[in-house]
């Protein structure tokens, strides 16, 4: 196996860990619609032996994913004689792709910073406070939109690498990403609308 292949595999593995966490996080966020279920879940989640190891796992996966992606990008740009004008089939200019990745990283780090500051016995109240602000709602919706674009693009690429290019698979990936995004957006939108 070449170094490039190893980096790609590492990046995909770390990305899969984060995608699994995202699905889990979105589903547990939906328990917001039942106050007792939400309180019960976060009382369980915020135990020292669950919260910190899980956060460490996500941060390590994020670090490995970004590091491998950067190494692959540097290698690719060194190998390229003529610069890309457009990026991939969606025809998104390469600088815009880089900008969206930086914005996504900022969103994730700001979000984690925000959760680290909250009172863990008042998670539901913190959600109510965050999303009663239109600016906070916009910040989260923008972050979720960039996350959705990133997932769509990268999951389709993973399929291509695996030699799978059927429209059925693409459709299931797109539907999954749309469901994940709607699931995440539901609680902030509900809080803002009913505030
Ligand atoms: C609308 C979308 C989202 C909402 C409302 C939301 C809400 C929350 C809340 C309330 C917590 C606190 C858990 C605690 O009690 O410690 C949390 C933790 C976390 N969220 Fe999100 N989240 C959202 C999206 C995301 C996304 C897209 C990511 C991407 C990676 C993410 C990553 C994390 C991580 C890593 C933690 C653990 C941080 C910690 O333990 O302090 N979240 N989120």
Residue spans of the domains in the chain: they are 3-194
Structure tokens at 33: 């619609």
Q: CA 9, CA 23: separation in Å to the nearest integer?
A: 21
What pLDDT shows up at residue 166?
Answer: 79
CA-closest residue to ligand 1 atom 37: 55
What pLDDT shows up at residue 56?
Answer: 98
Structure tokens at 71: 């190494």
- Residue pair 93/83 in contact (Cβ under 8 Å)? The answer is no
Q: What separation in Å is there between the alpha carbon of 155 and the centre of ligand 1?
A: 22
What pLDDT shows up at residue 150?
Answer: 94
Pocket mutation for ligand 1, best pick of 111, 183, 192 (most atoms within 8 Å of C-beta):
111
Structure tokens at 122: 């008042």
Q: What separation in Å is there between the alpha carbon of 25 and the centre of ligand 1?
A: 7
Closest C-alpha among 135, 183, 165 to residue 27: 183
Residue labelled with tokens 């674009």? 149
CA-closest residue to ligand 1 atom 17: 115
What pLDDT shows up at residue 80?
Answer: 64
- Residue pair 71/5 in contact (Cβ under 8 Å)? The answer is no
Q: What separation in Å is there between the alpha carbon of 123 and the centre of ligand 1?
A: 11
CA-closest residue to ligand 1 atom 1: 184
Q: What separation in Å is there between the alpha carbon of 5 and the centre of ligand 1?
A: 31
What pLDDT shows up at residue 167?
Answer: 84
What pLDDT shows up at residue 157?
Answer: 83
Q: Write out residues in the chain with pLDDT < 70, as ranges.
A: 80-91
What pLDDT shows up at residue 88?
Answer: 52
CA-closest residue to ligand 1 atom 36: 112
């Amino acid at each position: 196996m070449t170094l490039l292949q190893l980096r790609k595999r590492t990046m995909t593995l770390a990305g899969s860990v984060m995608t699994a966490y995202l699905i889990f996080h979105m589903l547990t966020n939906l328990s917001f619609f039942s106050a007792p279920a939400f309180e019960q879940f976060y009382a369980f989640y915020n135990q020292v032996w669950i919260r910190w190891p899980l956060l460490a796992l996500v941060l390590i996966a994020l670090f490995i994913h970004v590091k491998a992606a950067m190494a692959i990008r540097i290698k690719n740009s060194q190998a390229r004689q003529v610069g890309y004008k457009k990026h991939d089939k969606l025809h998104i200019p390469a600088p815009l792709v880089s900008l969206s990745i930086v914005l996504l990283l900022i969103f994730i780090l700001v979000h984690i910073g925000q959760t680290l500051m909250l009172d863990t016995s008042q998670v539901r109240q913190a959600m109510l406070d965050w999303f009663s602000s239109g600016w906070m709602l916009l910040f989260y919706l923008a972050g979720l939109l960039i996350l959705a674009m990133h997932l769509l693009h990268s999951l389709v690429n993973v399929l291509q690498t695996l030699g799978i290019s059927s429209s059925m698979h693409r459709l299931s990936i797109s539907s999954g990403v749309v469901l994940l995004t709607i699931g995440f957006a539901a609680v902030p939108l509900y809080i803002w609308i009913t505030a």
